Amino acid sequence: MSLYQKILGDLAEAMKAKQADRLSVLRMLKTAVENERIAQMKRDTDPDDAFVMAVLKRYKKQQEDALADFERGGRQDAVEKTKAEIGQVSGYLPAEMDDAAIDAMVQDVLKEMPEPRDFGRVMGAVVKKVAGGADGGRVKARVEAALK
């Protein structure tokens, strides 16, 4: 079962169980995927898992940015709701790599790369190895630390 089909199935379950909060998030996810399919003119086929994961990661990032704004504004009700949404979206995404795993990949890339090592080449190689398993900002921080 594809990730998109899982979201649709969970949407149907949430409707039957009358889970309003969960239903709202799942509808937003479905709409985000549909809008991206329309934008990329891929309406005639079911989206693959990589496509859906990219949309979900983007949605999660937007929610994390909104969460930071709500926290700065002191909107506790919105903070709790947004945290719950992020938790639901995270359930559909693979677990992110920890810093030790990222550091190991950085060291592997550095061993393979000839001197001098410039940041751009190292970062590009590490991002290819990580392949979406970690946030780009965390990868950047680990690469910078290794090159110092």
Q: pLDDT digits over 30-80, tens only?
A: 999 999 998 988 777 788 888 898 899 999 999 999 999 999 999 999 999
What is the structure's pLDDT at 59? Answer: 93
Q: Are residues 82 and 103 in the same domain?
A: no
Count other Cβ atoms within 10 Å, centred on residue 141: 13
Give the whole-angstrom CA distance, residue 93 versus residue 40: 22
Domain count, the chain: 2
pTM: 0.72
Residue where a domain terminates, one of 90, 113, 133: 90
Q: pLDDT digits over 15-27, tens only?
A: 999 999 999 999 9
Q: pLDDT digits over 58-69, tens only?
A: 999 999 999 999
Check the CA dihedral 83-84-88-94 and report its sign.
Answer: positive
Q: Are residues 66 and 124 in the same domain?
A: no
Q: Are residues 63 and 119 in the same domain?
A: no
Q: Are residues 11 and 81 in the same domain?
A: yes
Residue where a domain terminates, one of 70, 90, 110: 90
| Domain span including residue 78 | 3-90
Q: Are residues 52 and 112 in the same domain?
A: no
- Identify the DSSP state of 114: P
